Structure 1
């Protein structure tokens, strides 16, 4: 049975919480009647829902609308700062799950919120900080760290195989042969069910696998070659294009404030 975890918003529009996780920790499937923003200061969080999977790198965040059933897997030492938000606080909060860029301003506001009193008096500094946090959440930029899951049984099983073996040379031709369909049929079904073409889905799966491996401290060269890249430089070029820095620099920095490009 899925567990429901709730918070009281009688005196304020959001509840901040600091929580640290150890490598290998897991939160089983649960949901909240409120919305949730999880901001990671270090380590990587994998978020699993029935719609797909998200990987949250250091210094980014994940937005979960109210009622979203989700489970968390922890890689590395994760320092998380979470906001539980009254879904009635604003009418235009994000409506879907997404990994988001956390601006320096929002990061500092979250830190400040942790030390605020529970009572939120009209016109007070506490109220102004809460209102500014809500303003920032409304304009969070979404990042491409989402791996949508197909809905049909055969594609679900096949995608699980790709995620288990991301270093294989997964081509449309190879996939079509394994599923006993034409390349055109596979491409059409894949896009219909994931809104991504096959090669983009594989690229995202590899990136997510790389983030998890790198967060565990695996060498860049090992990760690059085991994920099927021709060389560490080719892997680093892909990583820099998407993440804004090299793999080594990304996990040495706690700022991670360069904007990603899809």
Structure 2
């Protein structure tokens, strides 16, 4: 398997492109976006995806679906091996239009591993095309797992939440957060 960068394959004339990469512990991918939707699966390790709308964590047996055009950053927890696919949502319009964590069945896991080995310009009518079509069918039927943390609509509070995701500090109290945002505890907890 060759390491593949998603941006290198945005204009490949195939509806699905498999990607496999290995990352060192605590590696971070800065905010970026893809034209295609991406199913991001950590074959080992854990990935944390953040967008302007929220944060999603994919432990083993889970994957994060990121719709095309969604700005997102990714943080690796431990050493991580990703197996992902980029999917043209114009070809597969039934895929979700919002980020979510999906359960990864044993079949979907094996298809993701296999997709990373499929040539970028595979023969769509042959075995590799069948693998990719089955992979998308498995994504469409994968169960939704509630592992999302939506960010608040209040701009200052959302900015504070983003900063916390970047540098968590478990010892900070509710009163300290409220004070940092110049609001009382009741308003802070309501927001």
With the length of structure 2 as denominator, give the TM-score of the two structures. Answer: 0.80
Point out which structure has higher relative CO (alpha carbons under 8 A, 6+ apart): 2
Deviations 1:60-84 (A, max 9, x none): 2111100011111112010110101
Count of residues in correspondence between the two structures: 179
- Among 39, 59, 62, the residue aligned to 1:60: 62
- Secondary structure of 1:68's aligned partner: coil
Decide whether the 8 Å contact of 1:40 with 1:79 is kept in 2: yes
Structure 1 residue 18 displacement after superposition = 1.0
When you count helix as a share of all residues, which structure comes out higher?
A: 1
- Secondary structure of 1:32's aligned partner: coil
Structure 1 residue 176 displacement after superposition = 10
When you count strand as a share of all residues, which structure comes out higher?
A: 2
- Among 79, 82, 89, the residue aligned to 1:80: 82
* Structure 1 segments (4+ residues) deviating >4 Å: 157-163, 167-170, 174-178
With the length of structure 1 as denominator, give the TM-score of the two structures. Answer: 0.60
Decide whether the 8 Å contact of 2:124 with 2:130 is kept in 1: no
| Residue equivalent to 1:7 | 10
| Residue equivalent to 2:138 | 136
Taking only aligned residues, the RMSD between alpha carbons, in angstroms, comes to: 2.6
Instruction: Extract unaligned runs of 5+ from structure 2.
Output: 1-5
| Residue equivalent to 1:36 | 38
| Residue equivalent to 1:51 | 53
**Structure having the higher Rg:** 1
Whether 1:104 aligns to 2:106 is yes
Instruction: Extract unaligned runs of 5+ from structure 1.
Output: 191-262
Q: For 1:9 and 1:161, locate their aligned partners in 2 and report how far apart those are by CA, in whole Å.
A: 36
Deviations 1:10-31 (A, max 9, x none): 1x32111110000121111111
Label 1:158 to 1:175 Cα distance change in 2 as closer, same or farther (>3 A). Answer: farther
| Residue equivalent to 1:18 | 20
